């Protein structure tokens, strides 16, 4: 096992400012706290003239690690590894500690340690000062004990972890792009729709008419939700009253009941679900959910509409929820997108009751205006939006797996639990589905220092998810 050394042996904490011979108008990088993200990135590149920032700000150089010292920025994860500084020099918030690698330290390794959750938790415990103005003292960084890993191994660890970081960043960028596409598609499809040729309608080729929700195709109608579902043998139903169901009725095994805590946008969260037995289920059968039902919260986030999938078919909903059953002639997926779109959400919020907390009831929800094209067009619109939603969900799932992998790798590698020494001689690059290099596999000869955690780095590469 590694011996322990203080962080100050591989990093200088808040080093003295070098003597610069810069002209007043020389441009340098400027990093306020707001330009550093909670996941350790420098998000916005600003420059200032040297004369503007040479006093009253923290100075740093290429390769330095910035670590937010004040609450809540530190707990939120703010900090970054600074590179490509304008003219090699930067200035920024005085609420940053600066960690500069010594000869025995690798900047990337120091940065990864600065983002490690357990490191941040210990930093939070060391804070001093009054409430709301607490800061991590420099003495914590100087005396923090860490494994005495030599510099070549530090560099390999930093390479592995930064590889995962790059894939996470690429995945986040793709998710953001897909979400922008979805937003644009919803705007077009839910206000213009698709013509018989599969094209989004335009004013140049199709007729539009005015409506309470703005201009819509002449073929469409705006109908209150209650009337729309009612004429198709659907309904808007409130959940069981409190007297019909009590906390003591819940069982360890039984049929799930969804509450407001389980309502997500267009889906239902399967976590900490209360359960009822068969007797209570038969008594509450009126409040059963079917695939395609939509569920709203009666309090709080009343503008959030959750779609009931086949996985929740047969479950119950609680008294703090409202159920919408669309009926036969309305596509429930289309209706879920309409009710999650800005027009419906804003109408619900603007017409809610309650002073301290927004509240929704069957009357308000039933009066919510919705746009209805023919059912065949509803299906086409829903299929397009489902496709982009599925693509986003796939990337979100991938992001979750990458986050879990990064956590396991940090636990194994930063603490010295798993050695990467064999990787210094031989590496194998693995490609992800897009053909991008995303991982470095350990040579089969690599041996751990001890037992590994689930999803550890030992014998598994970054791409194994």
Spell out where 259-340 has E strands: 263-264, 267-268, 275-276, 294-297, 305-307, 316-317, 321-325
- Alpha-carbon distance of 57 to 93, in angstroms, equals 6
- Pairing of the two strands 221-224 and 275-276: unpaired
Q: Cα–Cα distance between 290 and 328 in angstroms, integer? A: 13
CATH topology identical between 4-148 and 221-372:
yes
Q: Could you read off the pLDDT of 301-337 as tens digits, one per residue?
A: 898 899 999 999 999 999 899 999 998 889 999 999 9
Q: pLDDT tens digit string along 15-71?
A: 999 988 899 999 999 999 999 999 899 999 999 999 999 999 999 999 999 999 999
Name the token pair of 258: 């969804």
Summarize pLDDT for 419-446 with one digit per residue, the tens.
Answer: 887 656 544 444 454 444 444 444 333 3
Contact criterion met (CB below 8 Å) for 222 and 209:
no
In percent, how much of the chain has pLDDT > 90? 75
Contact 308, 292 (CB under 8 A): yes
HEC-encoded secondary structure of 87-156: HHEEEECCCEEEEEECCCCCHHHHHHHHHCHHHHHHHHHCCECCCCCCECCHHHHHHCEEECCCHHHHHH
- Output the pLDDT for position 305: 92
Q: Please report the pLDDT score of residue 437 as a whole number.
A: 47
Q: Which of 37-51, 211-225, 235-249, 419-433 has the lowest average pLDDT?
A: 419-433
Mean pLDDT, rounded, of the chain: 89
Q: According to CATH, what is the number of the domain 221-372?
A: 3.90.220.20
Per-residue pLDDT at 1 exceeds 80: no
pLDDT at residue 422, as a whole number: 65
Mean pLDDT is highest, among 110-119, 231-240, 262-271, for 110-119
Give pLDDT, residue 440. Answer: 43
CB atoms inside a 10 Å sphere around CB 175: 18
How does pLDDT run across 328-373, given as a tens digit for each residue?
Answer: 889 999 999 999 999 999 999 999 988 788 899 999 999 999 999 9
Task: Decide if pLDDT at 465 tops 70.
Answer: no
Please list the residues that pair with 84 across neighbouring strands.
none
The closest alpha carbon to 279, from 244, 311, 306, 310, belongs to 244
Mean pLDDT of 180-189: 96
Whether 81 and 65 have beta carbons less than 8 Å apart is answered as yes
CB of 276 closer than 8 Å to CB of 249 = yes
Q: Are 90 and 31 in contact (CB under 8 A)?
A: yes
pLDDT at residue 152 greater than cutoff 80: yes
Could you state, in order of their start, the residue ranges of all structural domains in the chain?
A: 4-148, 221-372
Nearest to 105 by CA among 71, 72, 151: 151
How much is the pLDDT for 419? 84
Architecture of domain 4-148: Alpha-Beta Complex (3.90)
Strands 89-92 and 27-31: parallel
The pLDDT, as a whole number, for residue 131 is: 83
- CA distance linking residue 119 with residue 65, whole number of Å: 15
pTM here? 0.80
> Tokens at residue 117, please?
């959750």
């Amino acid at each position: 096992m590694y011996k322990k050394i203080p962080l100050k042996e591989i990093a200088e904490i808040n080093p003295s400012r070098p003597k610069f011979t810069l002209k007043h108008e020389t441009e340098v990088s400027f990093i306020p706290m707001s330009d550093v993200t909670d996941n350790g990135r420098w998000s916005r590149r600003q420059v200032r003239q040297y004369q503007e920032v040479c006093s009253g700000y923290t100075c740093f150089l290429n390769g330095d690690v910035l670590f937010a010292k004040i609450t809540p920025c530190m707990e939120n994860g703010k900090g970054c590894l600074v590179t490509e500084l304008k003219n090699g020099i930067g200035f920024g918030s005085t609420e940053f500690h600066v960690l500069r690698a010594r000869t025995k330290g690798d900047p990337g390794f120091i940065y990864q340690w600065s983002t490690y959750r357990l490191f941040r938790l210990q930093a939070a415990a060391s804070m001093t000062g009054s409430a709301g103005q607490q800061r991590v003292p420099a003495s914590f960084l100087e005396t923090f004990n860490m494994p005495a890993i030599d510099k070549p191994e530090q560099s390999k660890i930093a390479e592995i972890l930064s590889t995962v970081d790059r894939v996470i960043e690429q995945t986040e960028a793709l998710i953001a792009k897909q979400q922008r596409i979805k937003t644009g598609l919803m705007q077009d499809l839910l206000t213009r729709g698709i013509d018989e040729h599969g094209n989004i309608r335009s004013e140049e080729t199709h007729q539009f008419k005015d409506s309470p929700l703005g201009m819509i195709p002449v073929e469409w109608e705006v109908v209150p939700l209650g009337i729309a579902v009612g004429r198709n043998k659907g309904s808007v139903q409130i959940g069981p009253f409190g007297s019909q169901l009590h906390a003591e009725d819940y069982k360890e095994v039984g049929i799930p009941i969804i509450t407001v805590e389980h309502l997500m946008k267009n889906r239902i969260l399967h976590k900490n679900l209360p359960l009822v037995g068969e007797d209570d289920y038969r008594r509450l059968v009126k409040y059963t959910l079917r695939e395609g039902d939509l569920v709203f919260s009666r309090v709080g986030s009343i503008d959030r509409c959750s779609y009931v999938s086949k996985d929740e078919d047969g479950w119950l909903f609680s008294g703090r929820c409202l159920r919408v059953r669309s009926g036969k002639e309305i596509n429930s997926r289309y209706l879920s997108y309409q009710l999650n779109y800005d027009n419906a959400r804003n109408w619900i919020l603007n017409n809610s009751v309650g002073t301290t907390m927004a509240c929704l009831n069957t009357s308000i929800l039933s009066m919510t205006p919705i746009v209805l094209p023919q059912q065949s067009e509803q299906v086409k619109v829903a299929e397009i939006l489902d496709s982009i939603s599925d693509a986003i969900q796939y990337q979100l799932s991938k992001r979750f797996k990458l986050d879990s992998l990064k956590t396991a790798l940090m636990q194994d590698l930063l603490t010295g639990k798993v050695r990467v020494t064999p990787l210094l001689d031989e590496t194998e690059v693995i490609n992800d589905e897009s053909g991008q290099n995303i991982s470095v596999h350990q040579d089969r000869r690599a041996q751990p220092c001890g037992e590994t955690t689930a999803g550890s780095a030992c014998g598994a590469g970054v791409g194994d998810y």
